[in-house]
Amino acid sequence: MNKQKATLLLADGTIFHGTLIGKPGTNGGEICFNTGMTGYQEIYTDPSYTGQIVVSTTSHIGNYGVIEDEVESDSPTIAGIVVNSFSEIHSRLDASGSLQDYLASHNITGIADIDTRKLVRHLRSQGAMNAIISSEYEGDLAGLKAELNMVPDMNGLELSSKVCTKEPYFFGDENSQIRVACLDFGIKKNILRNLADRGVYCKVFPAKTSIEELSAWNPSGYFLSNGPGDPAVMDYAVSTTKSILDTGLPVFGICLGHQVLAEACGVSTYKMHHGHRGLNHPIKNILTGKSEITSQNHGFVVKKEDVENNKELVITHVHLNDGTIAGIKLKNKPAFSVQYHPESSPGPHDSRYLFDDFVSLMTKN
């Protein structure tokens, strides 16, 4: 492994010096942190992190290598990674390779030997901001700053149409009676696995597919996927979702899909101070009174007052750390959504019942 130096520069001028990992180069994005202790490969391949530099608070990264199939998309689209201790060697019987080779072959630049505890405390107090990782600007701070200034702001950024599938594709058993049209805003594979495991045949459509094309497939229900970017600028998705709701068929939304469903009902979204990213976020299901430990990854959230004042919507789940809205459903339509990740991968399986709920809405229909 190379021992080249690398620099991490934050938009507020804070600098960290470390060691290059992955591919040599320069790359910027919004810096965010995930507190999960495991699952780095699933996190790095989650398309919702497109345009973001992911800091892991767990200190050992790379130690169990990578496995070809344990991915949430075909290729990582993250803007970089920041870790404390990067393992050059991996021990796991069925690993198909090292994380170093995986990152390098997918053009991901990262930085290791960073005091991630200090960095995360800084981000937690200062909030989300852009940053840049580089192995090329050693001693040229002005040059690096100029590169950082070119990184777009996550606020107002539309990314789903860039990461979604270009052509529709199928997932699951084609003989199944339950057919779900999935609107791909940056869908994680484990959502499709969870649907297929419950006997659902999925057709995954590009983010900008029209309602005519979606409904022509004659689905039993619609799924609105997770994905990167700012939901407030996804007018096309909000308008398609309004038409989807008009069909009266069951609808399930996860994360970005939840935000889009809320917007289709007139609720606005806003950017959080530093977001929720980790595997142990506590959620309360208001309808059952039970709590769930959940996997989360979001930087935007729906506005609480808008949901409370909305006559069409019921709050179904709340985040127990900060009281933000974590789930909603429509009063008069079989449509619901959650801000977190019932498919997890990585993370606990407490919320998998939501997929069962979606399937029973469709079988009832």
Ligand X SMILES: NC(=O)CC[C@H](N)C(=O)O
Q: Is-catalytic flag, 343? A: yes
- Lookup result for tokens 């075909």: 74
| Closest approach of ligand X to the CB of residue 227, in Å | 5
Number of residues that bind ligand X (CB under 6 A): 11
Nearer to ligand X, 179 or 298 (CB): 298
Contact region with ligand X (CB under 6 A), list: 69-77, 93-101, 292-300, 344-352 = 292-300
- In whole angstroms, what is the distance from residue 335 CA to residue 241 CA? 11
For ligand X, the binding residues in 238-257 under the rule CB under 6 A are: 255-256
Given phi > 0 = left and psi -120 to 50 = alpha, else beta, which region is 238?
Answer: alpha
- In whole angstroms, what is the distance from residue 344 CA to residue 341 CA? 5
- Does the annotation list 143 as a binding residue? no
Instruction: Using CB positions, name the residue nearest to ligand X.
Output: 255
102 binds ligand X (CB under 6 A): no
Helices (H) and strands (E) in the chain, counts: 11, 19
Sheet strand arrangement including 325-330:
169-171, 200-206, 178-184, 221-224, 251-254, 335-338, 325-330, 313-319, 269-285, 291-302
Catalytic residue among 202, 255, 276, 319: 255
- In whole angstroms, what is the distance from residue 215 CA to residue 2 CA? 52
Catalytic residue among 42, 72, 263, 343: 343
- In whole angstroms, what is the distance from residue 365 CA to residue 363 CA? 5
- Does the annotation list 257 as a binding residue? no
Which one among 228, 250, 327, 346 touches ligand X, defined by CB under 6 A? 228
| Closest approach of ligand X to the CB of residue 268, in Å | 13
CB neighbourhood size of 305 (10 A)? 9
- Does the annotation list 139 as a binding residue? no
- Does the annotation list 155 as a binding residue? no
226 binds ligand X (CB under 6 A): yes
- In whole angstroms, what is the distance from residue 261 CA to residue 267 CA? 9
CB neighbourhood size of 317 (10 A)? 28
Per the CB < 8 A criterion, the answer to whether 111 and 133 are in contact is yes
Which one among 19, 26, 130, 297 touches ligand X, defined by CB under 6 A? 297
Q: Which two tokens stand for residue 122?
A: 């800084």
Contact region with ligand X (CB under 6 A), list: 3-11, 61-69, 226-234, 324-332 = 226-234
Per the CB < 8 A criterion, the answer to whether 36 and 67 are in contact is no
227 binds ligand X (CB under 6 A): yes
Q: Is-catalytic flag, 312? A: no
- Does the annotation list 176 as a binding residue? no
- Does the annotation list 285 as a binding residue? no
Contact region with ligand X (CB under 6 A), list: 59-67, 165-173, 236-244, 291-299 = 291-299
Binding site for ligand X (CB under 6 A): 48, 226-229, 255-256, 297-300
Would you name the residues annotated as active-site residues? 255, 341, 343
Q: Which residues are annotated as a binding site for L-glutamine?
A: 48, 227, 229, 256, 259, 297, 299-300
Q: Which residues are annotated as a binding site?
A: 48, 227, 229, 256, 259, 297, 299-300
